[in-house]
Chain A
Amino acid sequence: MRTAVTLAVVGGAMVALPWLVPAYYITLMLPFMAYGVVLLGLNLLFGYTGLVSFGHALFIGIGAYTGAVLTTRLGMRQMELILLAAALAAALVAAPVGALCVRYVKIYFGMLTLAFGMVFYTFLLKFYKLTGGDEGMRMLRPYLLGQSWEGFSKTAYLIGPYYYFSLGVLVLATLLMWRIVRSPFGLCLRTIRDNPLKAESLGVSVPRFRWYAFMISAIYAAVGGALLATPTGNVDPTLAYWTHSGNIVFMVLLGGFASFFGPLLGAFVFIFLQDTVMSVFPYWRLVFGAVLAVLVIFAPGGLMGLFARRLPAEVSRG
């Protein structure tokens, strides 16, 4: 009951937000919601399966470039179809990449995902005619729910229709993931995270379930990547660069990977903290490095871990 009330309050606040805060902060909510979708998927792999990927920016890149290619090269502007195509493209790439990566664990899994991410980054950088090289590609304003929203200025479009569209996608992605982690499948993933040897002895095929988790997380990352591309209107290879992968792992740690909502909190705090720090101090990475060190040493459970006792058990434990 308390969980439902908490979520209702947060949901209501997010719906009302465009009327309550300046447009600038609404534009910051857009990357938060895009990363929120990415992190829900990443945490299925990290928090629920025990695999840390350092190459998930690969799939964010796939999602973003799918949107750019479809809108600029193929004239397809429907955002719903773009998200679908992004998910499909990510699944096609994740199937063989995941099949190879999930045979390894710990640092080897992390390094292998990083390696594939760098291969894709180099592809984006060097195949200039297809990808625009280091300049990237434009992402044209997509249609939402069949409407072009031509009468809206860019800002009005972003803080109005696009904000609510992103919110809708985030809510759907959250509900879907909530269901996944509470399914028999989610339970099998947690057995693998806790003890793969024991999981195997109970008949859980560890590589197969890891691969499923990898696929789902890649699809989530691509959908988030496609959402991320619209506000900037441009996609470039840095989206797939390894530091971007590092950032999203940081967000998960910041919020707390042991909690279902932790990564969402991590994305929110990261986006707004980054904006605040950058406005007063040019070396924001210095501050974030210190934050990361403090987190790992003093609060390995992340922000959600710190607040866990004050929150409903279902929210904090996920």
Chain B
Amino acid sequence: MILEARDVRRLYGAFVALDGVSLSVREGEFVSIIGPNGAGKSTLINVLTGVLQPSAGSVRFKGKDIGGIGTVALTRLGMARSFQLVQIFPDLTVLETLQAAVVSRLGLGTRFLASLAGCGHVESEAREVAALFNLHGKVHTLTRELPQGEKKLLDVASAFALKPEIILLDEPTSGVSTADKHAVMEILVDAAKRMGLRAIIQVEHDMDIVFGYSDRIIALHQGTVLADATPSQIEADAQVMDMVVGRRRGAHTTSVAPHPTPSPGTRGNSWQPSPPQGEEGRGSSRDARLERRGEG
């Protein structure tokens, strides 16, 4: 078990945003959290990422209680996140954005007099991540000048550059055109595979993305877990489909894997770290991850 929440309650004054939410995320899982507006998804994300302290209950990441631990500390523990609204550094280039994540991960931020340009490994790691997200051709572009879809990719890529063990993606395809959504997800899943992530959690409204990529779906409704099951089980549950999805998927689609070019093995556990690809950078990334796990 990598991440576990037990009987989490979160109150805002008298308002109960989360009421006894329990969930767990296991090694190799791609878990989607869904629910209508007001279901408590945002609060749950903030509790899971240590931003909010649960009013009751506990959240444990790799066995450690992370309730209210704070974003920076959680990043150091190996959890990264991206945001629903695109978060970029407008006046930094793509490369600088990714370098910032690498600098942070390697603990080089307090090197006051070291030359960033002289930290060759920082740049090479940043370029490696840029390549994984198809941003290698734009490394010197100011991020504010990127198209919206690439801004979103960079937002996610910078979280990946932290080489986290688990990543929480808040609507990773929001703001991306419908035509590009699956391409973004393919890039993301492929990157997770190559970088050796242990689990992905996403909050997503697009049910094609949710049903197409998830191993498990957690449906929230009014601050409680309505269902925690596989996509096919959720799809077979008329009540959940009506209350959370808002429609019967079968009425519109006949496939639970609707993306046009589903890559083999994007479902189940098969997105877990693949063997080194023979490419120097990719292989070394995975090795670095395995070493870090060994230390832990």
Listed in ascending order, the chain A residues whose CB lies under 8 Å from chain B are: 176, 179-180, 182-188, 190-191, 193-195, 197-205, 209, 212, 216
Once A191-B100, A202-B100 are accepted as A-B contacts, the answer to whether A209 and B109 lie under 8 Å apart by CB is yes
A288–B242 alpha-carbon span in the complex (Å)? 67
A195–B88 alpha-carbon span in the complex (Å)? 7
Cβ contacts under 8 Å, A212 to chain B: 110, 112
15 A-B contacts (beta carbon < 8 Å)? A182-B117, A183-B115, A184-B108, A185-B111, A187-B99, A187-B116, A195-B88, A198-B155, A199-B100, A201-B82, A201-B159, A202-B75, A202-B100, A202-B104, A212-B112
Q: Which of A176, A188, A194, A199 has the most chain B CB within a 10 Å cutoff?
A: A194
Once A182-B115, A182-B117, A194-B90 are accepted as A-B contacts, the answer to whether A188 and B100 lie under 8 Å apart by CB is yes
A195–B82 alpha-carbon span in the complex (Å)? 13
Closest B residue to A204 by CB, please name it: B104
Q: Are B116 and A203 in contact (CB under 8 A)?
A: no
Cβ contacts under 8 Å, A183 to chain B: 111-116
Q: Are B89 and A203 in contact (CB under 8 A)?
A: no
A308–B103 alpha-carbon span in the complex (Å)? 29
**Secondary structure dominating the interface of A:** helix
Once A185-B110, A191-B100 are accepted as A-B contacts, the answer to whether A200 and B72 lie under 8 Å apart by CB is yes
Listed in ascending order, the chain B residues whose CB lies under 8 Å from chain A are: 71-72, 75-76, 80-83, 87-92, 96-97, 99-101, 103-105, 108-117, 119, 122, 155, 158-159, 162
Residue from the list A180, A197, A202 in contact with B101, Cβ < 8 A: A202
A203–B158 alpha-carbon span in the complex (Å)? 11
Cβ contacts under 8 Å, A182 to chain B: 115-117
Give how many A-B residue pairs fall within 8 Å (CB-CB).
Answer: 100
**A262 shortest CB reach to chain B, Å:** 15
Q: Which of A197, A202, A205 has the most chain B CB within a 10 Å cutoff?
A: A202
Q: Are B119 and A184 in contact (CB under 8 A)?
A: yes
Q: Which of A176, A204, A216 has the most chain B CB within a 10 Å cutoff?
A: A204
Cβ contacts under 8 Å, B103 to chain A: 184, 187-188
A201–B99 alpha-carbon span in the complex (Å)? 14
Cβ contacts under 8 Å, A188 to chain B: 100, 103-104, 109
**B79 shortest CB reach to chain A, Å:** 10
Q: Are A184 and B122 in contact (CB under 8 A)?
A: yes
Q: Are B112 and A203 in contact (CB under 8 A)?
A: no
A183–B113 alpha-carbon span in the complex (Å)? 6
Once A184-B122, A187-B100 are accepted as A-B contacts, the answer to whether A204 and B89 lie under 8 Å apart by CB is no
Residue from the list A179, A201, A209 in contact with B113, Cβ < 8 A: A179
Cβ contacts under 8 Å, B117 to chain A: 182
Cβ contacts under 8 Å, B88 to chain A: 194-195, 198
Closest A residue to B144 by CB, please name it: A194
Q: Are B109 and A184 in contact (CB under 8 A)?
A: yes
A200–B73 alpha-carbon span in the complex (Å)? 10
**A58 shortest CB reach to chain B, Å:** 23
Q: Are A204 and B72 in contact (CB under 8 A)?
A: yes
Cβ contacts under 8 Å, B97 to chain A: 191
Q: Are A203 and B72 in contact (CB under 8 A)?
A: yes
Closest A residue to B112 by CB, please name it: A185
Closest A residue to B97 by CB, please name it: A191
Q: Are A190 and B91 in contact (CB under 8 A)?
A: yes
Q: Are B91 and A203 in contact (CB under 8 A)?
A: no
Q: Which of B88, B110, B119, B159 has the most chain A CB within a 10 Å cutoff?
A: B110
Cβ contacts under 8 Å, A200 to chain B: 71-72
Residue from the list A195, A204, A216 in contact with B87, Cβ < 8 A: A195
A199–B96 alpha-carbon span in the complex (Å)? 12
A194–B112 alpha-carbon span in the complex (Å)? 19
A199–B83 alpha-carbon span in the complex (Å)? 12
**A176 shortest CB reach to chain B, Å:** 8
**B95 shortest CB reach to chain A, Å:** 11
Cβ contacts under 8 Å, A186 to chain B: 116
A230–B28 alpha-carbon span in the complex (Å)? 68
Q: Are A203 and B104 in contact (CB under 8 A)?
A: yes
Q: Are A194 and B92 in contact (CB under 8 A)?
A: yes
Cβ contacts under 8 Å, A187 to chain B: 92, 96, 99-100, 103, 116
Cβ contacts under 8 Å, A197 to chain B: 83, 87
**A63 shortest CB reach to chain B, Å:** 21
Closest B residue to A190 by CB, please name it: B92
Residue from the list B87, B110, B111, B162 in contact with A198, Cβ < 8 A: B87
A194–B91 alpha-carbon span in the complex (Å)? 7
